[in-house]
Amino acid sequence: MFKKLNVKVLIIILIILLGIYFISEMFDSSERSFKSKLADFDNSNVTALIIESSKGDNVKIVKENDIWKVVSDGKSYLADETTINNNLNILNNLNVKRVAATDKSKWNSFEVVDTMAVRLIVEENNDEVLNMFIGKFSYKQPDNTQQQQNPYQRQQPIITSFVRLDGDDIVYAVDGFLKMNFNADINSYRYKKLTDLNKDDIENLNFSSNLSKPFALSKQDGKWFVNGIQADSTKAVKYINSISKLNSSSFVYDVADNELPTSAYTLKIEGNNFNPIEIKAFPADSVNQYLISSTNVDDALFSGSSSKLFDKIFVGEETFLPEK
C-alpha cells in the first residue's frame, strides 16, 4: 500500500514539476521576444533622419557629401552636426527599462498612435534602420530620503518616455524626455554659430559703418590697441571672449538675399588658424531692428533684437578705451 502511495505521490510531484517547467519556458520565451535595445546602427552610415509631428510638421535632415543639411518646406539649410550626432547617440543608447504594454488597446493611453506621437525614422541609403513612434512621458520626483541624509547629493527626477516600433504592438518604457530632443522644429537642427573661434587666435577686428567713422581693435605684442591707442585690456578681453563664440537661434525666414538693403554695419574678424569672418547688419523692421549675417553660416539671417545680438556685436571704439 505504501509503495502504491509513494508511486502516486511521485507521479503527482512529477506532473507539478513538468507544469512549472513548461510555464516558466513559456514566460521565458515571451520575455526573450521583448527587445532590450531599440536601435543598433553605425552613426557614420546614417544618411537621413526624419521627424514627423502629430500636427503635421515635418523636418528631414540629410547628409549630402558628408555635410548635414536640414530640409523643410522645399528649402535646405546647414545643419548642426554636433546636435545630429548627439541625437543619434541618444537613439543608439536607448535601453528598455520595461515593457509598458503588449497590445494595441493600450496605444492611445501611451500616445503612441499616429495622431498623437512623434514619428522618428533613421535611414541608411534610403533603407530604414529605425522607425519609431515617441509617445507621452512621465515625470517622477525622486525619493527625498537620501537627500535628507546627505543634503549635498541632489537626486535627479526620473523621466520616462513611452515608445513603439513601427510594425510592433509592444509599448516600451525608456529613459529621458525624447520629445524634447526629437521635435519637428527646424531651428533645433540648424547651424547657429556666427563665430566659433579660439579667442587667442583673434588678432584684428575692423569695425565699419555708413553711420560712423571706422576703427580697428588690434593686438600688438600681446596688448590691444584702438586705432593706435592702448585699449583697456579688461574691456578688450571681455569683448573678444564674447565675440569668439557667438550663437543665435533667432532665424529670420521671410527675407530673401536679393531683398536685403545695403548693410549699415560690418565687422571683419581676422587672425590665425581661421579664414576671416565678416558679420553684417542690415536695417530691418521695428521687430528685428537689424538682420544679422555671418560668413561662417552663409545661409542664415538672424534677428538683431533677439537677445540684443546687434548690441553684442557692433560697439563703438569708446567701449575699449580706458576711463578718463
User: Domain map of the chain by residue range?
Assistant: 43-188, 193-319
| Backbone phi, psi, residue 75, to 5° | -115, 150
Measured CA to CA, the distance from residue 85 to residue 76 in angstroms comes to: 19
Q: Is 51 within 8 Å of 118 (Cβ atoms)?
A: yes
Q: Comparing C-alpha atoms, which of 190, 217, 221 is closest to residue 205?
A: 217
Convert the pLDDT of each residue in 49-104 to its tens digit: 999 988 888 899 999 999 999 998 888 999 999 999 999 999 998 889 999 999 99
Say whether pLDDT at 198 is over 50: yes
What is the spatial distance between Cα 138 and Cα 149, in angstroms, rounded to a whole number?
A: 26
CA 187 from chain centre, in angstroms, equals: 10
Tally the residues of the chain: 324
| pLDDT tens-digit series, residues 217-261 | 999 999 999 988 999 999 999 999 999 999 999 999 988 777 899
Phi, psi of 189 (to 5 degrees): -115, -5
Alpha-carbon distance 191 to 296, whole Å? 10
pLDDT digits (tens, 9 = 90+) for 108-166: 999 999 899 999 999 999 899 999 999 998 877 776 655 555 655 566 788 899 999 99
pTM of the predicted protein model: 0.80
Position 232 scores a pLDDT of: 94
For cell 558628408, name the residue. Answer: 66
pLDDT of residue 27: 45
* Cell 527599462, located at residue: 97
